[in-house]
Amino acid sequence: MEAVAGLGGFADGHYTAVPSLLFAVILIKLVSPGPVLFKQERIGYMRRAFTLFKFRTMEVDTDADAHAQHMRKLIVKDSESRPLSKLENSPHIIRNGRLLRASCIDELPQFFNVLRGEMSLVGPRPCLAYEADEYQRWHVRRFDSVPGMTGLWQVMGKNRTTFKEMIRLDISYTQNLSLWLDLKILFLTPVAIIRQIIDKPSPGEVGADQAATS
Protein backbone atom coordinates (compact mmCIF):
# COMPACT_ATOMS: atom_id res chain seq x y z
CA MET A 1 0.00 0.00 0.00
CA GLU A 2 2.76 2.45 0.94
CA ALA A 3 4.70 1.62 -2.22
CA VAL A 4 1.66 2.24 -4.40
CA ALA A 5 0.88 5.52 -2.64
CA GLY A 6 4.52 6.56 -2.88
CA LEU A 7 4.88 5.87 -6.59
CA GLY A 8 1.49 7.39 -7.35
CA GLY A 9 2.33 10.52 -5.39
CA PHE A 10 5.70 10.78 -7.10
CA ALA A 11 4.07 10.61 -10.52
CA ASP A 12 1.48 13.23 -9.56
CA GLY A 13 3.99 15.62 -8.00
CA HIS A 14 6.90 15.12 -10.38
CA TYR A 15 6.15 18.00 -12.72
CA THR A 16 5.22 20.48 -10.00
CA ALA A 17 8.42 19.64 -8.08
CA VAL A 18 10.76 20.27 -11.02
CA PRO A 19 10.72 24.12 -10.76
CA SER A 20 11.47 23.91 -7.03
CA LEU A 21 14.32 21.47 -7.67
CA LEU A 22 15.85 23.79 -10.26
CA PHE A 23 15.39 26.80 -7.97
CA ALA A 24 17.20 25.04 -5.12
CA VAL A 25 20.09 23.87 -7.33
CA ILE A 26 20.67 27.35 -8.76
CA LEU A 27 20.33 29.06 -5.37
CA ILE A 28 22.81 26.79 -3.61
CA LYS A 29 25.34 27.03 -6.44
CA LEU A 30 25.14 30.84 -6.41
CA VAL A 31 25.61 31.34 -2.68
CA SER A 32 27.78 28.47 -1.44
CA PRO A 33 30.75 26.53 -2.84
CA GLY A 34 30.50 22.77 -2.62
CA PRO A 35 28.02 20.05 -3.54
CA VAL A 36 24.33 20.80 -3.97
CA LEU A 37 23.22 17.57 -2.33
CA PHE A 38 23.82 16.59 1.28
CA LYS A 39 23.99 12.86 2.05
CA GLN A 40 23.52 11.48 5.54
CA GLU A 41 23.03 8.07 7.11
CA ARG A 42 19.59 7.67 8.65
CA ILE A 43 17.78 4.84 10.41
CA GLY A 44 14.65 3.58 8.69
CA TYR A 45 12.31 0.61 8.54
CA MET A 46 13.22 -2.15 11.02
CA ARG A 47 16.25 -0.04 12.12
CA ARG A 48 17.98 -0.47 8.77
CA ALA A 49 20.49 2.24 7.88
CA PHE A 50 20.28 4.00 4.52
CA THR A 51 21.65 7.12 2.84
CA LEU A 52 19.19 10.02 2.87
CA PHE A 53 19.42 12.82 0.31
CA LYS A 54 18.71 16.50 0.97
CA PHE A 55 19.62 19.81 -0.58
CA ARG A 56 22.50 21.27 1.40
CA THR A 57 21.48 24.26 3.52
CA MET A 58 24.64 24.66 5.60
CA GLU A 59 28.28 25.28 4.86
CA VAL A 60 30.36 22.26 3.88
CA ASP A 61 31.92 20.27 6.77
CA THR A 62 29.88 21.95 9.52
CA ASP A 63 30.47 20.14 12.81
CA ALA A 64 27.47 18.09 13.98
CA ASP A 65 28.68 17.51 17.56
CA ALA A 66 26.54 20.29 19.05
CA HIS A 67 23.42 18.86 17.46
CA ALA A 68 24.24 15.35 18.68
CA GLN A 69 24.69 16.55 22.26
CA HIS A 70 21.52 18.60 22.18
CA MET A 71 19.42 15.77 20.74
CA ARG A 72 20.68 13.36 23.37
CA LYS A 73 19.57 15.86 26.02
CA LEU A 74 16.16 16.32 24.40
CA ILE A 75 15.59 12.57 24.23
CA VAL A 76 16.94 11.63 27.67
CA LYS A 77 16.17 14.63 29.89
CA ASP A 78 13.69 16.92 28.13
CA SER A 79 11.53 14.39 26.28
CA GLU A 80 8.31 15.71 27.86
CA SER A 81 9.13 19.35 28.52
CA ARG A 82 10.88 20.91 25.55
CA PRO A 83 9.57 21.21 21.97
CA LEU A 84 11.64 19.97 19.04
CA SER A 85 12.23 23.39 17.51
CA LYS A 86 14.84 23.88 14.81
CA LEU A 87 18.13 25.72 15.12
CA GLU A 88 17.69 28.68 12.80
CA ASN A 89 20.26 31.16 14.15
CA SER A 90 23.34 29.11 13.25
CA PRO A 91 26.00 31.15 11.44
CA HIS A 92 26.71 28.11 9.26
CA ILE A 93 23.35 28.21 7.45
CA ILE A 94 23.87 29.39 3.88
CA ARG A 95 22.07 32.45 2.52
CA ASN A 96 18.37 31.62 1.98
CA GLY A 97 18.95 28.22 3.55
CA ARG A 98 16.22 28.98 6.09
CA LEU A 99 13.77 29.47 3.24
CA LEU A 100 14.68 26.10 1.74
CA ARG A 101 14.14 24.49 5.15
CA ALA A 102 10.88 26.21 6.07
CA SER A 103 9.37 25.48 2.65
CA CYS A 104 10.67 21.87 2.82
CA ILE A 105 12.25 22.32 -0.62
CA ASP A 106 15.44 20.93 0.91
CA GLU A 107 13.60 17.60 1.37
CA LEU A 108 12.67 17.13 -2.31
CA PRO A 109 15.72 14.96 -3.17
CA GLN A 110 14.16 12.31 -0.93
CA PHE A 111 11.96 11.43 -3.90
CA PHE A 112 15.01 9.39 -4.92
CA ASN A 113 14.84 7.55 -1.59
CA VAL A 114 11.17 6.84 -2.29
CA LEU A 115 12.00 5.41 -5.71
CA ARG A 116 14.73 3.25 -4.18
CA GLY A 117 12.23 1.79 -1.70
CA GLU A 118 13.99 3.24 1.35
CA MET A 119 11.24 5.76 2.09
CA SER A 120 7.58 6.43 1.34
CA LEU A 121 5.81 9.74 0.83
CA VAL A 122 4.16 9.31 4.24
CA GLY A 123 5.62 7.83 7.40
CA PRO A 124 7.73 8.64 10.47
CA ARG A 125 10.76 10.78 9.76
CA PRO A 126 14.00 8.72 9.65
CA CYS A 127 16.19 9.56 12.61
CA LEU A 128 19.95 9.77 12.99
CA ALA A 129 21.93 6.87 14.42
CA TYR A 130 22.97 8.73 17.57
CA GLU A 131 19.31 9.54 18.23
CA ALA A 132 18.27 5.89 17.85
CA ASP A 133 21.00 4.90 20.30
CA GLU A 134 19.14 6.84 23.02
CA TYR A 135 15.72 5.31 22.33
CA GLN A 136 13.87 3.39 25.01
CA ARG A 137 12.35 0.03 24.12
CA TRP A 138 8.89 1.44 23.34
CA HIS A 139 10.35 4.18 21.13
CA VAL A 140 11.58 1.67 18.54
CA ARG A 141 8.00 0.88 17.53
CA ARG A 142 8.25 3.88 15.23
CA PHE A 143 10.56 1.75 13.08
CA ASP A 144 7.66 -0.59 12.25
CA SER A 145 6.70 1.69 9.34
CA VAL A 146 8.67 2.76 6.29
CA PRO A 147 9.95 6.32 6.95
CA GLY A 148 8.31 9.13 5.00
CA MET A 149 8.89 12.57 3.53
CA THR A 150 5.91 13.78 5.54
CA GLY A 151 3.90 12.22 8.30
CA LEU A 152 1.39 12.55 11.12
CA TRP A 153 3.95 14.37 13.27
CA GLN A 154 4.49 17.02 10.58
CA VAL A 155 0.80 17.87 10.26
CA MET A 156 0.00 17.63 13.99
CA GLY A 157 2.42 20.22 15.31
CA LYS A 158 5.93 19.14 14.32
CA ASN A 159 8.35 21.54 16.06
CA ARG A 160 5.73 22.51 18.64
CA THR A 161 5.69 18.96 20.00
CA THR A 162 8.02 17.29 22.48
CA PHE A 163 10.07 14.21 21.65
CA LYS A 164 7.64 11.86 23.39
CA GLU A 165 4.69 13.45 21.61
CA MET A 166 6.47 12.86 18.30
CA ILE A 167 7.08 9.20 19.18
CA ARG A 168 3.43 8.70 20.17
CA LEU A 169 2.24 10.25 16.89
CA ASP A 170 4.58 8.00 14.91
CA ILE A 171 3.36 4.90 16.74
CA SER A 172 -0.25 5.99 16.26
CA TYR A 173 0.38 6.30 12.54
CA THR A 174 1.86 2.79 12.44
CA GLN A 175 -1.07 1.31 14.35
CA ASN A 176 -3.69 3.02 12.16
CA LEU A 177 -1.94 2.70 8.81
CA SER A 178 -4.31 3.06 5.85
CA LEU A 179 -4.46 4.60 2.41
CA TRP A 180 -7.08 7.06 3.67
CA LEU A 181 -4.78 8.24 6.48
CA ASP A 182 -1.90 8.69 4.01
CA LEU A 183 -4.11 10.75 1.68
CA LYS A 184 -5.31 12.87 4.61
CA ILE A 185 -1.73 13.58 5.69
CA LEU A 186 -0.69 14.45 2.13
CA PHE A 187 -3.65 16.85 1.89
CA LEU A 188 -2.73 18.55 5.20
CA THR A 189 1.01 18.81 4.46
CA PRO A 190 0.87 22.02 2.33
CA VAL A 191 -1.07 23.73 5.14
CA ALA A 192 1.55 22.60 7.65
CA ILE A 193 4.35 23.92 5.42
CA ILE A 194 2.65 27.32 5.06
CA ARG A 195 2.25 27.49 8.84
CA GLN A 196 5.92 26.61 9.25
CA ILE A 197 6.98 29.42 6.88
CA ILE A 198 4.83 31.95 8.74
CA ASP A 199 5.84 30.89 12.26
CA LYS A 200 8.95 32.47 13.71
CA PRO A 201 11.27 29.87 15.31
CA SER A 202 12.51 30.29 18.83
CA PRO A 203 16.19 31.29 18.63
CA GLY A 204 18.78 28.81 19.82
CA GLU A 205 16.59 25.72 19.69
CA VAL A 206 17.37 22.56 17.77
CA GLY A 207 14.98 20.15 16.10
CA ALA A 208 15.00 16.39 15.84
CA ASP A 209 14.98 16.48 12.06
CA GLN A 210 17.56 19.23 11.56
CA ALA A 211 21.10 17.95 11.87
CA ALA A 212 23.78 20.59 12.24
CA THR A 213 25.41 19.50 9.01
CA SER A 214 22.32 19.39 6.79
Tell me the residue type at 122.
Answer: V
Q: What is the largest CA-CA distance in the chain?
A: 45
How far is 134 from 32, CA to CA, in rounded Å? 34
Nearest to 166 by CA among 114, 209, 106: 209
Residue partners of 114: CB distance under 8 A and separation at least 6 = 6, 7, 10, 120, 121, 149
> What are the pLDDT digits (tens) for 170-203?
999 999 999 999 999 999 999 999 988 887 554 4
- pLDDT of 86 above 50: yes
> What are the pLDDT digits (tens) for 22-41?
999 999 999 999 999 999 99
Confidence at residue 201, expressed as pLDDT on a 0 to 100 scale: 52
**Lowest mean pLDDT: which of 43-57, 87-101, 147-161?**
87-101
Taking the alpha carbons of 111, 113, 116, 121 in that order, is the dihedral positive or negative?
negative
Confidence at residue 87, expressed as pLDDT on a 0 to 100 scale: 56
For residues 100-113, give the mean pLDDT: 94
Q: Are strands 120-122 and 49-55 parallel, antiparallel or unpaired?
A: unpaired
> Distance between alpha carbon 68 and the CA centroid of its chain, in Å?
16
> What are the pLDDT digits (tens) for 126-161?
999 999 999 999 999 999 999 999 999 999 988 788
* pLDDT band at residue 79 under the 50/70/90 scheme: low
